[in-house]
Structure 1
Amino acid sequence: MKTIEINNCKIYFVGTAHVSKDSIEEVEKVISEILPEGIAVELDERRFLTIMSENKNKKIDIKEALKSGDFTKLLIYIFLSNSQKKIGEMFGVKPGSEMKKAIELSYLYNIPIYLIDRDINITLSRLLEKMPLKEKIKFLMALFEEDDDIEINEEKLREILNNPKKYVEMLKKLSPTIYNVLVDERDKYMAKKIFELSKIKNSLVVVVGAGHVDGIINYLKRLENGEKIDIDELIKVKDKKFKFSKIFGYLLTIAIFAFLGYILYYSISNPDILKLLTINWIIFTGGLAALGVVLARGKPLTALIAFLSAPITTLIPLPFAAVGTVAGLVELKFREITDKDIVNLFEADLKDLLNNNLFRILLVATLSNLGATIGVFYCLGKFTHIFILFPTLFLTIQTFL
C-alpha cells in the first residue's frame, strides 16, 4: 500500500492484480482498518453494473455491430476479457473480485463509492483510432497463437504486485500505443478524478491495478503543482459522422477513382495494361479478403462472396458497405446465434472461442476487412510505383505490348 497527501486529504492506494486472492484480502484489510470517507475504484459505470449484476444474459446486436463497423472494438474487448478470465480461473478468482469486495464493504460501512475510470467504450475507441495498422495485425495474429508456455502462478502475480513498474515498462516497449491508451491516459483520467475528490474528503482509499499506482501518484503531484489535465481531451472520440478515418475514406476513394482515370487515360491505346491492372486489383483486394475469411474458418461461400465484393466495396468508404460487413452478414446466415453463444462469448477460454458462432462471425468480419485493406494499399503502392515514379517505364511497356 502507498500513501500520499493531496489537498489535506490522506489517500491510501491499494494496488491490485485483478485475479489475485491476496488483492481481495488486502482490500478488505485496508478498508476495514482505515474506514475512509470515500472509496474510489478502477471502474466505469458499465463495468460496475457488470460486476454487480448476477444476470449473465448479455444482449449483443450483432447485425448492428457489423453495420456500424464496431466489430473490431467488440473483438478486442472479448479478447481482453477472456484473457483475464483464463488467468482468474487458475486461482479460483473471478476478474474484478477485489473491486466487488471494495463495493460490498462500502455498503457495509456506509461509505460513498466513486467510479473513477474512463468508459471502456471510449478507451477501446481511442485505442483503435491511435493503433497503427501494423500493431492491429500483430494483435489479431495473437488470437491464433498458443500461450501454454507462459507460466502464470501465485508467485508471478506477487512479483507483478511488488514490481509493477517493470511490467508496465515492458508493455511500453512492446506496444507504445496500448501503453499510452490503456495505461497513461487512464492514469491521467483517474488522477484528475481523485484530485477533485481530495478537495471534499479528508481520507480516501483508492483501489486500482498495481500498474496504475505510480502513474496516478505522479499526475496527482503534478496537479498539486498547478499543472492541468484536460478531461474533455481524454474522453474525446472522433464523431463517427465526421471522424478522420471516414474523411480519409472519402479522400482515398476519390484518389482511387482519379488514379484509375489516370490509368485509363494512358491505357486507351493499350487495353492489355488496363486489363492487367484490373486483374491485380481483383486478385489482391478480393484474394486477401477471402484469405481473411479462411483464416477465421468461415464458410466457403462467405470467402467467395468476400472475394467478389472486396474489389467493389473497397471503393465505397461506408461501414455498411465494407467487405467485413458483407462477409459478416453472410456468415451470420449460416451460424445461428444462441443465448449460450452470447454468455460463453465472455466466459469461454480462447480455444473454445473459435467454436463460438458469434466470435467466429466477428473474426470473419475483422480479418476480411483487414485483408482487403492490405490489398488496397499493396495495389496503390504497386500502381504508383509504375505510373508515377516510373512514367518512362510505363511508356516503354506500352511500346512493347
Structure 2
Amino acid sequence: MQVLNENPDSPPQGSESLAAQPIAHVTRDGVEYVLLGTAHVSRASVEAVREILDRETFDAVAIELCEPRYKSMRDPESFRNLDLFQVIRQGKAGLVAANLALSSFQRRIAEQFGIEPGAEMKAAIDGAEARDLPIWLIDREVGITLKRAIRSVGFLDRIGIMAGLAGSLISREDVEESEIEKLKEGDMLGSMFNEFARESPPLFEALISERDRYMTARLREETSDAANTDTPVKRVLVVIGAGHLAGIEQAIESQTDAPAPMQEELSALPPGSPWPKRIGFAVFAAIAVAIAVLFYRGADSGADALWTWVLCTGIGAAIGAAAAGGHPLSALAAFIVAPLKPFRPGIPVGAASAGVEVWIHRPRVADFDSLRDDVIHWTGWWRNRISRTLLVFVFSNLGMMFGTWVAGFRIIKSLL
C-alpha cells in the first residue's frame, strides 16, 4: 500500500473560490483522492465544486450523500410516496420527525441566504453527469446515524439530542454569512447540537468519527470495484462536509480492514440499553402493587387509586395530542389507550392517536408539496397535516410519560 499526501492545502493557481476551501490530496494504491471540504449551505462551496471540476480531470465523483438523500435531492416530490399509516404502524414517526427537523435546520439557514440546501452536492452531481463520470454515494443513512447516536449515550445526553432538534426549530435568529462559512470547521449534524456534540465523546463518535470510517470504507470499496472493470479509476473528487476532511484523510492512510465488513459493522444498530425498559417495568409494577394493596385495604381506596391512574395517564396523553393540534377524536383515542399501556407494552400510545389523526385529516397533495417549506418554521409543523400527525405521535407519548409519573407519585403517596 502506498500513501502519499501532496500539498493538501494548495489550490490551483489563480483559483479564488478554491483558495478559501479546505482541500487535501491523498494517494493510496495508485488512486489519488482529492478531498474538497465544503459547507452545506455556502455559495463559496458551490463555486468551488464547479471550479475544481472545470479545472481538473477526474475519473469519478464521490459525494457525502446516502441513497435516500440522493433520491430526495433528485426527486423533490419523493415525500409524496410517504405512507403515514405504515410509518405509524412501524413506530418510525419519531425518526421521520427527527429527519424533518434536520432538514428544516439546513433549509432555514439556506433560505436566509437564498441558496438551496445541499447545493454543493447538487453541483457535484450535475458536474459529474455533464462529464459522464460515475457518482459514488458514500455516506451512511442518516436514520442509522441518529439511531446509533441515541443508543450510544445515556438518558441525559438523549435529552440533549432532543433539545438540539427542538432548538433548531424554535430559534429564529439570523446567522451572519461569515458564521455559515465557519460550518466548514464542523459538520451539519454536529452543528445542530453545537458544543454538546463536541463535549460528548459517544455522540461525536456516532455523528462524525464513525461516518469518517464508513465513508472511507465506501471509497475503498468503489475503487476496488472499478479496478475490476475496463475503466479503472485513478483520480477521484470527494465532496464532503469539511468537518470530515481530516478524519477521512487519516482513515484513507491507515484503514486496513476489509471495506464490506467494516460498513456492515458501522451500519448495525447496537442493542438498546435494557435499563429504560427495566425502569419502566419497575414503575408499572410498583404502581400495580400499590393499587392492589389499596384494594386490599378497602374497595374505595383501591378504586380511587385506579381512577387516579386512568385520569392521570389518559389526561396527560390527551393533553399531549391536543397540544400537537390533534383532532378531539385523536385526543380521545390517546385518553382511552393510555391507561392500557401496561397491557400493550409494544404499542406506543402515540400510534393510536396519530392513527386517528391521519384517518380524520388525511394528507392532501398540497401538504406533501409544502412539507419541506412548512417545517422550516416551527409554526408550520402545526399547519401541515403530515408534520402535525408526527407531532401528535410524539406529544401523546410524552404526555403519557408525564401522566405515569404523576399517577405513580399520587398513588404511592396515598399508600404511605
Q: Please say whether Structure 1 and Structure 2 have the same fold, judged by a TM-score greater than 0.5.
A: yes
Equivalent residue number for residue 14 of structure 2: none
C-alpha change, 1:244 and 1:225, in structure 2 (3 Å) is closer
Which of 58, 72, 91 is 1:50 aligned to?
72
Equivalent residue number for residue 363 of structure 1: 391
SS at match of 1:347: helix
SS at match of 2:391: helix
Q: CA deviation at 1:207?
A: 0.3
Equivalent residue number for residue 363 of structure 2: 337
Q: CA deviation at 1:294?
A: 2.9
Determine whether 1:148 maps to 2:172: yes
**TM-score normalised over the length of structure 1:** 0.81
C-alpha change, 1:61 and 1:310, in structure 2 (3 Å) is same
- Range moving further from structure 2, 356-365 or 189-198: 189-198
RMSD value over aligned CA atoms? Answer: 3.5
Determine whether 1:327 maps to 2:353: yes
Which of 356, 376, 381 is 2:404 aligned to?
376
Structure 1: 5+ residue runs without aligned partners?
387-392
For residues 218-276 of structure 1, what are the alpha-carbon distances to aligned partners after superposition, in whole Å with 9 as ceiling and x for unaligned?
Answer: 333331599997221211137xxxx7589976995698458625752574133454334
Between 1 and 2, higher relative CO (CA 8 Å, sep ≥ 6) is seen in: 1
Q: Distance in 1 between matches of 2:277 and 2:144?
A: 22
Q: CA deviation at 1:11?
A: 1.6
Equivalent residue number for residue 254 of structure 2: 222
Determine whether 1:10 maps to 2:32: yes
Q: Distance in 2 between matches of 1:266 and 1:57?
A: 52
Q: Distance in 2 between matches of 1:315 and 1:248?
A: 17
Contact 2:104 2:169 in 1 (8 A): no
**TM-score normalised over the length of structure 2:** 0.78
Q: Distance in 2 between matches of 1:126 and 1:112?
A: 30
Q: Distance in 2 between matches of 1:110 and 1:259?
A: 66
For residues 82-132 of structure 1, what are the alpha-carbon distances to aligned partners after superposition, in whole Å with 9 as ceiling and x for unaligned?
Answer: 221121122222112211211222222232221111123433443454464
SS at match of 1:12: strand
Contact 1:130 1:177 in 2 (8 A): yes
Which amino acid in structure 1 is aligned with residue 31 of structure 2? C
C-alpha change, 1:313 and 1:5, in structure 2 (3 Å) is same
Contact 1:7 1:198 in 2 (8 A): no
Equivalent residue number for residue 180 of structure 1: 205
Contact 1:249 1:317 in 2 (8 A): no
Equivalent residue number for residue 4 of structure 2: none
Q: CA deviation at 1:299?
A: 2.9
Determine whether 1:138 maps to 2:138: no
Q: CA deviation at 1:177?
A: 5.8
C-alpha change, 1:48 and 1:263, in structure 2 (3 Å) is same
Equivalent residue number for residue 32 of structure 1: 54
Equivalent residue number for residue 218 of structure 2: 193
Which of 305, 312, 317 is 2:333 aligned to?
305
Q: In the TM superposition, what are the counterparts of 1:2-401 in structure 2 within 5 Å? A: 2-53=24-75, 55=77, 58-130=80-152, 132=155, 133-135=158-160, 137-139=162-164, 141-142=166-167, 145=170, 147-149=171-173, 151-161=174-184, 163-164=185-186, 170-173=195-198, 178-197=203-222, 200=227, 201-223=233-255, 230-237=262-269, 256=284, 260-261=288-289, 264=292, 267-319=295-347, 322-348=348-374, 349-350=376-377, 351-376=379-404, 397=416
Equivalent residue number for residue 9 of structure 2: none
